[in-house]
Structure 1
Amino acid sequence: MAAGLSTGAGALAALAVSALMAASGAHAVETPPGLQIAQRNACLGCHAIDRKLVGPSFQQVASRYKGNTQAQTLLEHKVKDGGSGVWGAIPMPAHPAMSDADIRTVVDWVLAGAPSK
């Protein structure tokens, strides 16, 4: 009987691990790629989605550049090269190690309003 219980407990443990893995995988799919890249590149150290931190919120950036046909290119350069003076005295550091594709994905996401899903 004890052997049957341990086998049952092992099956339950395996089921629990599978459920956790599935849940964490579902979460990763729900997180937009732009947000994932921003998280990996420490963007959230200075920017929040919906409130000012050191720099403007991503939603503030989207609002400021809404309708600007040059916004994508302008912001891609700003991320890559850094800059100052647009949002105050604190400069935005350059991110030369980020790939152009990652920068494009983050900027696309920001200009879309930084949706959380």
Structure 2
Amino acid sequence: MNTEKIASVTASLALALGLGVGTLWPRQADASLALAQKYACVACHQPATKVVGPSWKDIGAKYGDGKGTAAQLAASIKAGSSGKWGPMPMPPQAQVPDADLQALAQWLLDGAK
């Protein structure tokens, strides 16, 4: 069984046992922050302040609340972009595994909390 399936089954079991989403959320958030650090996202992006790229808060505001999907944002991170946030291009992040891109994207859409 792969890591994603194990995580999904674990989350489902926890919910079935009445642990609730609130119990699982801090672990997911910690994991996403750890991914942002692992892949050096923090060199250009910070929680609430624009550095080289937009803040996580601004990304969530632009693409969250149904304005975009995690899959779309993950694809944009992977491919890189230019002109979405001003003149500074976002270099492609093709080295980041798709599962990690998806986790990071969903974390951003959820407000990076």
TM-score normalised by length of structure 2: 0.71
Gaps of 5+ in 2: 1-26
Q: Displacement of 1:74 after TM fit?
A: 1.8
Q: Displacement of 1:67 after TM fit?
A: 2.2
Deviation string for 1:16-61 (max 9, x for gaps)? xxxxxxxxxxxxx696211100100010000001110000000110
The list of structure 1 runs, each at least 4 consecutive aligned residues, that deviate by more than 3 angstroms after superposition, is none
Name the residue aligned to 2:46: 48
RMSD: 1.6
Matches of residues 1-117 of structure 1 in structure 2 within 5 Å?
A: 32-68=30-66, 70-115=68-113
Gaps of 5+ in 1: 1-28
Ranked by relative contact order (alpha carbons within 8 Å, sequence separation 6 or more), the top structure is 1
Name the residue aligned to 1:25: none
Number of corresponding residues: 87
TM-score normalised by length of structure 1: 0.68
Which has the larger Rg? 1
